[in-house]
Structure 1
């Protein structure tokens, strides 16, 4: 038991550290290559913080733990929408940008509904994974197009976060010609740590689940989801405290979309026979994720902000859901 717990916690720590290295290294590398600031946030940062979910999903799928893989994605999105968004709004009311209202919010809701429909037969097939990937590619393509109209406020936030030199894509003279290689090494090192950490996490979590008779879906919805979503939680809370809300909300909603369409899409497509999932995921957890997405619509539209009371309500919703999982499902 202690050995399994050790590997689970070590895997969690490795995921968090690896995601930070991956995101930072990828961000600086992209900036040095002259990629537009908002594109860095929409792609490198959003995908970087979702890498733990992908690594866990691939390892789980390879081990035949479809419920753990899907539960991780569902739990991560529930955490993003209720815990992360709620905590950020409770700390400081969040203003919602029109980009989030017109595109990110509808896409997030659509992705959640698509997963609900596809999981109706308790099986996610390889063809459904391909459909997810096509939708994800379309989403990223539209983001690239719309990023050309980035606001000055967003540019200022990225400059404050990553530095004027990074935005310009230029290298400080003092760092010399090896700066690009250094950033690449940070990126590759982060990826390696995430992959190794995911293996440790999945092995430890699965062993504990089997030992105590806890459904693997519940492990994915709780411990694994909390671990893999910690980069999004840290990024959003820190961005909120710095009042960099364009980054915080945009990356949070984008991460929810990418988790389903790209991360889960790759996971499902990687398994020729598809993934089988627990019936409880379809009856309870995926509908909770869909409900959380739907709740965001009136919250975001009313006044184009998330106030402290609304943030508190989201937090209470998440704590209630966690209480249900621990009391009823374990």
Structure 2
């Protein structure tokens, strides 16, 4: 009975995280639009934050609760899942094309960023200084995005525009409720995931790398499938790559600025797998900027092998 209760609570946590992020983005985007803030800026900040809000909330909550295994595994697991499963499955259904900018800068930057994370974590802790280093890399990425978007080579995420029907008090309430749902959802998710790990005799690391990573990656999954269906397959891949950068350079960076985050030796392998996943994607698209069915199958096989490794060591 306790297992069912915790599973239902975990599901509730995911729903609150995803719906909360959605409403927060909608409300805050429309408020920004009413103040005539450029759509480009809104798309690169508020909307981009929205898809990574679940990872951010869960990691920060887990770190503050002294549960570093979930704080780290949530981000690293999401990044692995994003590439090997989301891109893998989507590319099996239809070939995915990536933009030149993603191939030349963003994807190599993911590899470099994940490698930096690995190097920073080798001493066993992500410290305040480590957070500053990651944030500097985030600022570099953000400046790059602004320049790229202004040059017309890339588009920011779609932004909800305010209409006359949207009243400021309602938008403020929507934004506050959205943020409240994110905070409450993150607490429920971390608590239920920790208890499930105890019940099943599994490590919080295993739960974070699999179940929690899947749940917090749902916004990226929905965004990518929707973009691919609309024929915007280049945006589908770009969103995943951007999300992976955001997860490390904003989520883990901000978490380590708030509190030191222990980086267990077991995460070295997981981080190497995250680097390998990005390298596999780079190899698949290097020739003609496309991920086809063959590449998708390879990614799925790699994830199955990685999952098997996690189960064996759980």
The TM-score with structure 1 as length reference comes to 0.87
CA contact (8 A) 2:122 2:265 kept: no
Query: Residues 172 and 281 of structure 1: is their aligned pair in 2 closer, same or farther, counting only changes over 3 Å?
Result: closer
Alignment-derived partner of residue 266 in structure 2: 280
Measure how far apart 1:250 and its partner are: 2.0
Instruction: Report SS of the residue matched to 1:150.
Output: coil
Q: Secondary structure at the match of 1:186?
A: helix
Mapped pair 1:325 → 2:310: yes
Contact 2:96 2:234 survives alignment (8 Å): no
**SS of the residue 2:249 aligns to:** helix
Equivalent-residue separation in structure 2 for 1:195 and 1:145 (angstroms) = 33
Aligned-residue RMSD, C-alpha: 2.1
> What is the distance in 2 between the residues matched to 1:76 and 1:212?
22
Would you say the 8 A contact 2:224–2:240 is kept in 1?
A: yes
Q: Secondary structure at the match of 1:100?
A: helix
Structure 1 residue matching 2:288: 3-state secondary structure: helix
Contact 1:112 1:293 in 2 (8 A): no
Instruction: Kindly tell me the number of residue pairs found equivalent between the two proteins.
Output: 312
Q: Is there any run of 5+ residues in structure 2 with no aligned partner, and where?
A: none
Identify the structure with the greater helix proportion: 1
Structure 1 pair 41–319 and aligned structure 2 pair: CA distance change class (3 A):
farther
SS at the partner of 2:122? helix
TM-score calculated relative to the size of structure 2: 0.91
User: How far, CA to CA, are the matches of 1:319 and 1:23 in structure 2?
Assistant: 34
Unaligned stretches of 5+ in structure 1?
Answer: none
Q: How does 1:1-330 map to 2 (within 5 A)?
A: 1-2=2-3, 3-151=5-153, 154=155, 166=161, 171-173=162-164, 175=165, 178-271=166-259, 274-282=260-268, 284-326=269-311, 328-330=312-314
Cα distance in 1, alignment partners of residues 294 and 169 from structure 2 = 47
Moved more, 256-265 or 128-137: 128-137
> Equivalents in 2 of 1:41, 1:222: separation in Å?
29
Q: Aligned partners of 1:242, 1:279: CA distance in 2, in Å? A: 42
- Please say if residues 23 and 49 of structure 1, whose CA atoms lie closer than 8 Å, have aligned partners that are also in contact: no
When residues 299 and 183 of structure 1 are mapped into structure 2, their CA distance, relative to the original with a 3 A threshold, is farther
Q: Cα deviations across residues 135-155 of structure 1 (Å, max 9, x unaligned)?
A: 11221122112210125x848
Aligned residues of 1:4 and 1:204 also touching (Cα < 8 A): yes
